[in-house]
């Protein structure tokens, strides 16, 4: 099994399916959810997911506990009529929605033993336009039988 390709797609689909409440009803939380750091985003807020180093521990002579880590970076732009306070509030809400979704689906639909989500680091940058970003790690823990 190609664990990283499998779990990257599951996390991408999970994030892409998240909704947020608005005055006009529920809408997609993200404009884009891409795999890879070279992804071109079509709008904001968007998320990029990528592979991070993983760990493994021998649990018994017949089982390994593997922990696959997926990095998530959420980007939001301050421009287009969105002030700093609104962008920051939306970013905080997006992180909360992701963490709550993972708290409710602790085994990603039965695809792993459990998921841990490490809280976000928030940062600001100015490149061509001012951005706020949040990054955190989703750790997917799977017991694997040794042959």
Read off the pTM.
0.83
Q: What are 16-71's pLDDT values in tens digits?
A: 999 987 766 788 999 999 998 677 888 888 999 999 988 888 877 788 888 999 99
Rounded CA separation 136/50 (Å):
11
Rounded CA separation 117/34 (Å):
19
* Residue 85: its H or E element: helix 84-104
Rounded CA separation 87/115 (Å):
28
Rounded CA separation 32/19 (Å):
13
Is residue 133 within 8 A of residue 76, CB to CB? The reply is yes
Q: Is the peptide bond before 107 cis (omega within 30 degrees of 0)?
A: no
Instruction: Name the token pair of 137.
Output: 């790690």
Percent of the chain surpassing pLDDT 70: 92
- Torsional class of 128: left (φ above 0), alpha (ψ -120 to 50), beta (otherwise): alpha
Is pLDDT larger for residue 138 or for residue 120? 138
Q: What is the CATH number of the domain that holds 44?
A: 3.30.2000
**Containing structural domain, residue 26:** 3-145
Total domains present in the chain? 1
């Amino acid at each position: 099994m190609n664990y990283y390709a499998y779990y990257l797609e599951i996390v991408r689909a999970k994030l892409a399916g998240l909704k947020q409440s608005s005055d006009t009803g529920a809408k997609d939380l993200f404009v884009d959810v891409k795999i890879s750091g070279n992804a071109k985003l079509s709008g904001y807020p968007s998320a990029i997911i990528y592979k991070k180093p993983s760990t493994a521990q021998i649990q018994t002579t017949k089982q390994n506990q593997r922990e696959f880590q997926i990095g998530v970076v959420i980007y939001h732009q301050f421009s287009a009529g969105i002030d700093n306070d609104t962008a920051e509030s939306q970013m905080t809400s997006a992180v909360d929605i992701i963490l709550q979704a993972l708290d409710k689906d602790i085994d990603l639909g039965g695809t792993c033993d459990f998921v841990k989500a490490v809280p976000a680091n928030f940062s600001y940058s100015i490149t061509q336009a001012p951005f706020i970003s949040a990054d955190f790690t989703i750790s997917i823990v799977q017991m694997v039988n040794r042959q």
